[in-house]
Amino acid sequence: MLQLTFGPLDQDLIARIQAAESAQLEVWLDRVLTATGQREVFDPH
């Protein structure tokens, strides 16, 4: 879903996603729905 919305992901981001706990993945998934870029999904501040 991320790649379809925002394009290719770099390896560091892929590793971060793979290492994340399920609760964090749910937070990121919710953010994907309204974010305008990868940064808003993973580092919203």
pLDDT tens, position by position, 1-45: 889 889 999 999 999 999 999 999 999 999 999 999 998 999 877
Q: What pLDDT score does 15 carry?
A: 96
Query: CB neighbours of 3 closer than 8 A, spacing ≥ 6?
Result: 9
Query: How far apart (Å, rounded) are the C-alpha atoms in residues 3 and 11?
Result: 12
pLDDT tens across 31-42, in order? 999 999 998 999
Q: What pLDDT score does 1 carry?
A: 83
Q: What pLDDT score does 19 carry?
A: 97
> Which sequence spans correspond to the domains of the chain?
2-42
Query: How far apart (Å, rounded) are the C-alpha atoms in residues 23 and 20?
Result: 8
Helices (H), the chain: 2-6, 11-19, 22-32, 38-42
Q: What pLDDT score does 43 carry?
A: 86
Write out the two tokens for 26: 């749910």
